[in-house]
Amino acid sequence: MKTVAWLCALLALAYADPAVYFKEEFSDGDAWTSRWVESKHKSDYGKFKLSAGKFYGDAEKDKGLQTSQDARFYALSANFEPFSNKDKTLVIQFTVKHEQNIDCGGAYVKVFPASLDQTEMNGDSQYNIMFGPDICGPPTKKVHVIFNYKGKNVQINKDIRCKDDQYTHLYTLIVRPDNTYEVKIDNSKVESGSLEEDWDFLPPKKIKDPEAKKPDDWDERPKIDDPEDTKPEDWEKPEHIPDPDAVKPEDWDEEMDGEWEPPVIQNPEYKGEWKPKQIDNPDYKGKWVHPEIDNPEYTEDPSLYLYDSFAAIGLELWQVKSGTIFDNFLITDCEKHAEEYGNETWGATKDAEKKMKEQQEEEERKKQEEEDKKRKDEGGDEPEEDEDEDDEDEADKVDKDEEEEDDDDNEIPSKDEL
Ligand SMILES: *[C@@H]1O[C@H](CO)[C@@H](O)[C@H](O)[C@H]1NC(C)=O
């Protein structure tokens, strides 16, 4: 922690420890239920449970909040001491693990102002920032970065692809007081730039001058027909001619077969339509460019990044296939601290997590092979190839059993965040 404090102090040119506004790693058993509030806005929100999942790097450290029911809305939030990011960097970070091999579901956080009523949180609750991955079929696999600006939710203009595998990934959003931002996945930068350029918060700086108009005599043709060029006199030749080599067959009977005519062939001297030579247009002025003027509607806003209050973080989302695990939430003013915390959490267990999953797959494969062999030895039919899906079957069964009790609501609503 000492190095981190020093680095942040250096960056901020002030002797300050990194401020940690919120941190949650679910390391105290059921105690999280006293820190997180489930919304009562609807009666059938999906349940989160504490779990490290089917495979993990560390059975304790990797415990996080897992969505446990398919085709549900989820609405859970935790609050913290309100703060403003005035003149400060803001970092929002958390990990997401789609161990269920997700087909459709949100996995983003919303960070709310102090005005949020946690027990009433729902899709319409006004947030400051929405950030994180969202998957729905192959076309939608993106990281949302939405800012509420003067009451309107504004989505980033760039496309940031999210991870769609089954491992834990670290998502980080950095918003700086110089109105720049950075998005990182697994502690590597995937996007960055300026808030003004990458979101349509403000009207454009320049517009086309409404007074300007292309002059009537503006010549935009780079080439013209050569006026000196004329069609040669012998140009015109018929396209088809009677075949000069054809001869009337000896047994041709004019009475029976009619008058003999040679077959028609393509004329080798036919030159096609005559076109004059092209020359450079002496009056060519280039493409007319509409002159631009300063947009009178535009006013710079040096505080695009700024919010008066942040006071709660929420998981307000929709999942078709549940099983996503959220963990290692961090909200801080220090980029370096967030990076280090990411290393200590996601970074420390990711390799062991991968190893455990690969071992499980290997065991599964061996088991399958043995079963196939047994069936073959017993003289049964050749078993069908059944790859990959096996590890899901069990989880699916559990989910379905849970679902059956209250399966009256089969309609799958679509979720439009904007
Ligand atoms: C985080 O880990 C990466 C990779 O090991 C390393 O390069 C980086 O310096 C670490 N960051 C911090 C702040 O410790």
**pLDDT tens-digit profile of 390-417?**
444 444 444 444 444 444 444 444 455 4
Q: Confirm if 122 and 42 have CB atoms less than 8 A apart.
A: yes
Q: Whose CA is nearest to atom 10 of ligand 1?
A: 340
Mean pLDDT of the 95-107 span: 95
* Residue 2 pLDDT grade (very low, low, confident, very high; cuts 50, 70, 90): very low
Task: Kindly indicate the confidence band of residue 13, based on its pLDDT and cuts at 50, 70 and 90.
Answer: low
Q: What is the structure's pLDDT at 333?
A: 97
pLDDT digits (tens, 9 = 90+) for 368-379: 999 999 988 887
Atom of ligand 1 nearest to the CA of 187: 1
Tell me whether strands 152-155 and 168-175 are parallel, antiparallel or unpaired: unpaired
- In 3-state terms, what secondary structure has residue 237? coil
Is 389 known as a binding-site position?
no
Name the DSSP class of 278.
E
What is d(CA 19, CA 8) in angstroms, rounded to the nearest whole number? 10
Please tell me whether 261 is known to bind a ligand.
Answer: no
Greatest alpha-carbon span in the chain: 117
The pLDDT value given to residue 402: 42
Task: Report residues whose beta carbon is within 6 angstroms of any ligand 1 atom.
Answer: 187, 336, 339-340, 343, 347
Whole-angstrom CA distances from 283 to 38, 223, 227, 229, 286 are 73, 10, 14, 18, 9
Q: Please, which residues bridge with residue 24 across strands?
A: 329
pLDDT-based confidence at residue 8 (cuts at 50, 70, 90): low
Residue 348 has pLDDT above 50, yes or no: yes
Distance (Å) from CA 146 to ligand 1 centroid: 28
Looking at ligand 1, which residue's alpha carbon is closest to its atom 3?
343
Between CA 309 and CA 129 the distance in angstroms is: 11
State in Å: Cα 190 to ligand 1 middle: 16
Report the candidate in 316, 315, 323, 319 with the shortest Cα–Cα distance to residue 104: 319
415 is in an annotated binding site: no
Which one is predicted more confidently, 95 or 248? 95
CA distances from 381 to 179, 229, 358 (A): 66, 82, 30
Over residues 267-291, the pLDDT tens digits come to 988 988 899 999 999 999 999 999 9
pLDDT at residue 9 tops 80: no
pLDDT at 256: 85
For a substitution probing ligand 1, which of 340, 349, 351 has the most ligand atoms within 8 Å of its CB? 340
| Mean pLDDT computed over every residue of the chain | 89
Residue 303 has pLDDT above 90, yes or no: yes
Work out the pLDDT band at 248, boundaries 50, 70, 90. confident
Residue pLDDT, tens place only, 167-200: 999 999 999 999 999 999 999 999 999 999 999 9
